[in-house]
Amino acid sequence: MPVVDVHTHMYPPAYMELLRNRTSVPYVKSFPDDPSAGNRLVILPAEDTESTSRGRPIGPEYFEVSEKLEFMRRHGIDISIISLANPWLDWLPSDTAAETARQVNDDVERMCTDNEGKLFAFGTLPLSAPVKEVIEEVERLAGLPHHRGIVMGTSGLGSGLDDPALDPIYATMEKHEQLVFLHPHYGLPTSAYGERASDYGHVLPLALGFPLETTIAVTRMLLSGVFDRFPRLNVLLAHSGGTLPFLAGRIESCIAHDAHLKKLGKLEGRRDVWDVLKNNIYLDAVIYSEVGLKAAIDASGVGRLMFGTDHPFFPPLDEGETEWLSVKMNSKAVESALGYDRKADAVMGGNACRILRLPS
Ligand code: 5CU
């Protein structure tokens, strides 16, 4: 059974050029007062404190296909489903977004064609463009031979994934069976991290901001009835669903006890959180521990979990480490939760082959 990485990012050449030509977030640049730091990737809204303002180092692992293939070889990964890393195209002006999305998706499709059988992709959408152009790209992506779905953030068209203006886009995704890989970027307002946030590097926004953002986004989708209107919409949640598997019971209870929702008649005929978790949601296995992974398995079922690495984020801090700790933590979690049996093989690759129509 091949090992498949469903959560692995790249910035293809067309996107790198955009980042290198910018001076406000997101951008790539070097800082003359610290030449040893090299090029830095600055992308997160929370990157405004002393310890985060210079983002993270960026090298060829972010944009060279040869580096992705070398990483796969070293970690025993047979197939990668590459996706554009955050913040995707969310920040582009409306009038250039559709053309840029086509260029970026075509760049990625070419990378996959050149590495037949090893690379597949989730495409990206021009979400700042008019809805008609977004729909056209969803339809075009459905016809690209190596694309297996769409990577998206939580902002939707600008006001979140519970925005009714997204309905025609969800309808097109559902019609073309396009899996949505939902990934965080915006986190929580920086005020949530307190006055001493600049002492703590990226820990609070990445460990907590990201997963809570995902949890809130999916809960808003549930509350607004997206999964009732589009019962065949499939969503793959990054980082094992944020905190959704752990909080599903509390979310369900808060809905069932909400007098306002009852008064509006919204409690009748709705699909509950568990139903959606088991029928619409897939989860990656990027949670770094057995405890989180078991919660994900309990919530959605072992057949809906797929291994991932988040490469090239979370590289080793020390030079010379060829095997990445972040990858080992995720594969070890699968091993500790499931042992060495068919279920572990399924999470490591079998599920992805079935769900994403990959060669096995
Ligand atoms: O380290 C980071 O900032 C990130 C990021 O931006 N996106 C991601 O997928 N993982 C880590």
Which value, in Å, is the radius of gyration of the alpha carbons in the chain? Answer: 20
Positions of the chain with pLDDT under 50: none
**Cα 313 to averaged position of ligand 1 atoms, centre (Å):** 6
Q: Parse the chain into domains and list their residue ranges.
A: 4-9+65-188+216-355
Pick the residue whose CA is nearest to atom 6 on ligand 1. Answer: 86
Pick the residue whose CA is nearest to atom 9 on ligand 1. Answer: 310
Tell me the C-alpha to C-alpha distance, in Å, between residue 126 and each of 22, 62, 90, 156, 216. Answer: 18, 21, 7, 10, 23
Closest-CA residue to 169 (of 133, 205, 115): 133
Query: Considering the entire predicted model, what is its pTM?
Result: 0.97
Q: What are phi and psi of 217, to 5 degrees?
A: -60, -45
Q: Which fold has domain 4-9+65-188+216-355?
A: TIM Barrel (3.20.20)
- Probe ligand 1: pick from 9, 61, 204, 210, max atoms within 8 Å of CB? 210
pLDDT value of residue 37: 87
- The ligand 1 site (C-beta within 6 Å) comprises 43-44, 56, 85-86, 202, 206, 310, 313
pLDDT value of residue 111: 97
Pick the residue whose CA is nearest to atom 1 on ligand 1. Answer: 313
**Cα 206 to averaged position of ligand 1 atoms, centre (Å):** 7
What pLDDT, in 10s, does the model give residues 263-311? 999 999 999 999 999 999 999 999 999 999 999 999 999 999 999 999 9
What is the position in ligand 1's atom list of the atom closest to the CA of 314? Answer: 1
pLDDT value of residue 360: 84
Residues 6+ apart with CB under 8 A from 183: 83, 86, 151, 152, 153, 214, 238
Residues 6+ apart with CB under 8 A from 345: 1
Which ipTM value was assigned to this complex?
0.94
Longest Cα pair distance anywhere in the chain, in angstroms? 62
